[in-house]
Chain A
């Protein structure tokens, strides 16, 4: 991975959780649950066009690293930093790993 690709990839990782943390809750406060639909289109959809549509996040290998990794890590760090219980969070991370194994395996069955 060359230095410019590293900078681009880190910037892509920065932007996604930054926008979610600052904007998603405010959209829901302002518009109710429909704010979640706005967030899905204009935070996730629009950030996808940057990170994967034009490819700000460089893929160094053949296993897909989605910008979802950034949302996972960035939001967990932000939540832990603002005082939420990390131990209980780790329990939910284990559930996410199990869910990810299950989902990944089912998609393997789809594509194999």
Chain B
């Protein structure tokens, strides 16, 4: 059930984002896109990650994985495999940027942790 729940969570998040989001953009332009993020991602996050329909136990897989794959495969099903092949350069560079972003964020977290440890050590010194 853990796996079935996770698959359902990924699929529902992907379906909302890859259909309703674009409709909001068509209707209201860039503000529609911002608003779609608010109304879709909020409740999908609450279901998938806060309550835990996506049962993450190991390295974290965001519901974004389901959204990303749904969007790309939707177009591969509709437009053919060549459409997917043509999109591989974008996918590759997004992934490279993302990996660097993730690595950098962990480095920033480490820096913040050291800063906070230094501050609390100092305040301990003063109180002694």
Contact = CB atoms under 8 A, between A and B. Distances in A.
A, B assembled together:
yes
Interface of A: 1, 6, 9-18, 20-22, 28, 33, 36-37, 39-41, 44-46, 48-49, 52-54, 57-82, 84-93, 95-108, 110-112
Contacts of B8: 99
B59 A106 contact: no
Interface string B57-95: 111111011111111111111110001111111110111
B74 A72 contact: no
A108 B60 CA distance: 28
A65 B91 contact: yes
B75 A103 contact: no
Given A45-B35, A85-B57, A92-B58, A66 B90 contact: no
Contacts of B60: 75-76, 78-79, 84, 89
**B: interface residue count bin:** 35 or more
Contacts, number: 328
Given A60-B90, A104-B73, A99 B79 contact: no
B64 A75 contact: yes
Given A66-B72, A68-B67, A70-B94, 13 more contacts: A61-B87, A64-B71, A64-B74, A72-B61, A74-B102, A92-B6, A92-B55, A99-B69, A99-B70, A100-B11, A100-B65, A101-B69, A107-B70
A75 B25 CA distance: 26
B10 A100 contact: yes
B17 to A, nearest CB: 7
Which of B62, B71, B96, B98 lies at the interface centre, i.e. has the most chain A CB atoms within 10 A of its CB? B98
A100 B94 contact: no
Contacts of B13: 103
A62 B75 contact: yes
A107 B90 CA distance: 22
Nearest to B76: A63
